[in-house]
A and B are shown apart, each in its own frame.
Chain A
Amino acid sequence: MADNRQMWEKLGIDMEAHDALLGAIPALVEETFMRQENRPAKMDFFDFVLGDIHGIRVHELQEIKANGGKVIGTFCVYVPEEIILAAGGTCIGLCSGVDIGTAEAEKVLPRNICPMIKASLGFKMTKTCPYFESTDLVVGETTCDGKQKAWEILGEMTPTYVMELPAMKRDSSRRLWDSEVAAFKNAVEQTTGKKGTDDDLKKAIAKVNGKRRALQRLSATRQADPVPISGTDALLIEQIAFYDDVERFAAKTNELAEELEARVAAGEGVFPKGTPRLMISGTPMAVPNWKIPHIIETSGGALVVEESCTGQRYFRELVEESASDAMDAIADRYLKTDCACFSPNDERIENVIKLAKEYNVDGVVYTSLMFCGPYSVEYNKVKKALDAAGIPVIKIDTDYGMEDVGQIKTRIEAFIEQIKETVPAS
């Protein structure tokens, strides 16, 4: 669209590199989404957002900015969105799920670092992400060694604020986190120029909880067999949650959930009843990383739940709305997040087993981005717990490249064959 191009140019986007990036999307979307059968009608909104991925929402951001609003970019589910909203800001998730600017990024980063970190800096360095170029501030956090050192480098390129996340969950960790949440509020307010009052915070809490409730509602329909929506579609929705307008997203997700509830009531689904039900557990999958869900669902499996930041970790916990101290309630909720960056992290292990049971999962595909120390090491404990619960698991270490798709497909197909032979057909 002509006005997209004008906007991108104004944002200083490298048009040639950006054309190459966007040029690859339609074929991928066709292959991954459009060829699925019996998709819910209310996916239309999400397909529309996906179809104009660097357009319509970026236009909205420009409008927000023209009216004095500020856009704050984040890379992690630990950054409290409520605080950004209360101060009049708009929160946008910036994580990348595509190799972009690898050569540029490798000028400042080592080759063997997680692809998500590499692509985040790659996007900035090649000026190919209009969301990134729309931000007034980006917020990093100390969730892993790679990230916390990368922010120092990113800080030389764009205004960057870093939250210190404790590595444990002791009383002293909570005190550190409380002070970090308070300091974050100040930093955000300096950027937006507006102080978030207690009332603003309470409204923001209700708003973001509304988004989480919608996602919880949608997710709950996937406990049914047959499952009313593919995991590939569900992941797309969980990805869009990170950058769409909060209230519109909640409304559209609720509309879809209503359709899915009707499907469940009528016993309708996207895969035949009895299709092996798989859970993904591990590292996040940012747009346009649909590699593993697509392989699962074209290999005879149904993906029914994502135990990841682009999934349950994003919406499972709500902020207590009736709490007298809103900041305390926010700090409390975010510290419950069970990322592998914590030690120990027994909550996650328990939660994996709980989700596997709630969603009647036949097997777990444990996914770890290459070079992700925390999730890759934590596999040991997750596997032990799954073994004890009698739930099969397969570990896939991969990145955004496509050269290993053949081997991953063989492994996942074999995993599904193995499940079919051990699970009696219903």
Chain B
Amino acid sequence: MKSAGLDIGSRTIALVVIDDAGVVAATVQDTTYDPIAECRALLAEHSFDSLVATGYGRHLAAEHFNATPITEIKAFASGAAHLRPGCRGVLDIGGQDVKVISVNERGRVADFEMNDRCAAGTGKFIEVMAAALGYKIEDFGAAALNAESLVKVNSTCTVFAESEVVSLIAKGEARANIAYGIHDAIAERIVAMVTRIDLAGEIFFAGGAARNQALQKILAEKLNARLFVPENPQIVGALGAALSGA
């Protein structure tokens, strides 16, 4: 039996196919303006017996591909529990939302927090800020780690922070220092969410932003906790979806 999980997020689509032996396929690609066409092409490349969809586009996939929808919350909890047995806390920074999930001893969701309506502190925010400072997204974290000092950035609202960054540049601040400030501001916001639900022990860090080394380091410091970043943090939701269909 092959079970497929499809995670249609705001920025990327991930597909994971598993069988009894483990993962047989795992891919990540851009969502684009036409996620259904992207999914159709992606699904055509793989064979599977069941399909579970999660992410922002889960209901669209349910309608078009006869997939069973589950929420990202459930998908990330079971994906993380599978990759890191015994894991009790999950942080996912996705394209346009941030989820903090506490997981019970059976690998199920015990409680969760999720940002509402605004993209503050999400992957999209990181992208916009990197662009405002002229960095490629993959270099942004390393730049922040090379900063000489921290420049305080007060806002995590994409619109306000962009103008804050513009005025910091105008003041002659080194862009690496501003980059550090941006990462620090995101981490502050995440810490506030994490402390609202009691996460115990190591935190499983998923989503595209988990690849960012500066975020990994600053979050670990501020949370005073060990972070575990899986080999491919962008497929955790799709894996969880596949597992729930298996």
Contact = CB atoms under 8 A, between A and B. Distances in A.
B71 to A, nearest CB: 4
B180 interface: no
B19 to A, nearest CB: 25
Nearest to A408: B116
Interface stretch (A200-208, A349-357, A397-405): A397-405
B200 interface: no
Contact of A421 (B56, B108, B114, B116): B108
A276 B72 CA distance: 20
Interface residues of B, number: 16
B70 A417 contact: yes
B184 interface: no
Interface string B59-82: 000000000001111100000000
Given A417-B109, A418-B109, A421-B109, A410 B71 contact: yes
A247 B165 CA distance: 63
B58 to A, nearest CB: 9
Contacts of A397: 116
B92 to A, nearest CB: 12
A406 B56 contact: yes
A413 interface: yes
A398 B116 CA distance: 9
B117 A410 contact: no
A410 B109 contact: no
B75 to A, nearest CB: 10
Interface string A385-426: 000000000001110000110111011011001100110000
A410 B114 contact: yes
Interface residues of A, number: 16
Contacts of A414: 71-74, 109, 112, 114
Contacts of B117: 398, 403-404, 407
B114 A407 contact: yes
A411 B116 contact: yes
Interface string B81-121: 00000000000000001000000000011111011110000
A417 B74 contact: yes
Interface string A110-141: 00000000000000000000000000000000
Given A417-B73, A417-B74, A418-B109, A411 B114 contact: yes
7 contacts: A408-B116, A414-B74, A417-B71, A417-B73, A418-B109, A421-B108, A422-B108
For the complex of A and B, 10 pairs with smallest distance between CB atoms: A414-B73, A404-B117, A414-B71, A413-B71, A418-B109, A421-B108, A417-B74, A410-B71, A407-B116, A411-B114
Interface of B: 56, 70-74, 97, 108-112, 114-117
Given A397-B116, A404-B117, A418-B110, 19 more contacts: A406-B56, A407-B97, A407-B115, A407-B116, A407-B117, A410-B97, A411-B73, A411-B112, A411-B114, A413-B71, A414-B72, A414-B73, A414-B74, A414-B109, A417-B74, A417-B109, A418-B73, A418-B108, A418-B111
